[in-house]
Amino acid sequence: MDVREKLRRRDFSGLKPSRAMAFLYDADEFYRFRGAEALGHLCRGRKARNFILRLFWHLSDESGAYCVGAPLGIAEIGRNNPEEFEGFKNKFVSLLDDWEVERRYVAYGIGRTAEIVKDAYPDPVDKLLEKIEEIGSGDFVVYAVWALGKLGEYEIVRRFANDGRRGRFYDGERITVRSVGEIARMFI
């Protein structure tokens, strides 16, 4: 079975973390998400910490290999290694301020790691609201509202229940186009 088929089936057996990481660069967004999930499954303990550091480095200009899916990988590794991610949660939330990073992936990552980042600095709720106002695109706002819901901010999410902006959204199985209001109503 080829690697894409293994990722599609979430069969991460026999897959090396470096091979999964390669999918964070994939042109097909679906495989970026699945590659990140594989990294979260494959990286534990010290290896998790090292891969998180490597992915942060791949977001910097110095690396020469900018990785569009790095926030997804950081979040999935962090979600499965909360003790390792604790030291990175502030830096992760701060990625929302970096216009060169795919910020919708950071918003998704905040949702995936909500229990860990809820007490981060900067405050993820304030930062998400600030970026909703600043960025405004449906592709970002669907993930930001979803993350706010995962953070338990149901009163804030309720404000978006009739928002018609639409964006691409990974629901854990596929990428669909959803309205911000549809995402908000998942939590109310």
Tell me the mean pLDDT per 10 residues along the chain, length 188: 95 96 97 98 97 94 82 98 98 97 98 98 98 98 98 98 98 98 97
Quote the CA–CA distance of 113 and 139 in Å, as a whole number: 20
Ranges of H-type helices in the chain: 3-9, 17-22, 29-42, 45-57, 70-80, 82-85, 89-94, 103-112, 114-117, 124-135, 138-150, 154-158, 180-185
Domain ranges of the chain: 3-185
* Per-residue pLDDT, 34: 98
* Per-residue pLDDT, 66: 86
* Per-residue pLDDT, 60: 82
* Per-residue pLDDT, 65: 74
* Per-residue pLDDT, 174: 97
* Per-residue pLDDT, 6: 97
> Taken in order 134, 138, 143, 146, is the CA torsion positive or negative?
positive
* Per-residue pLDDT, 176: 98
Q: What CATH number has the domain spanning 3-185?
A: 1.25.10
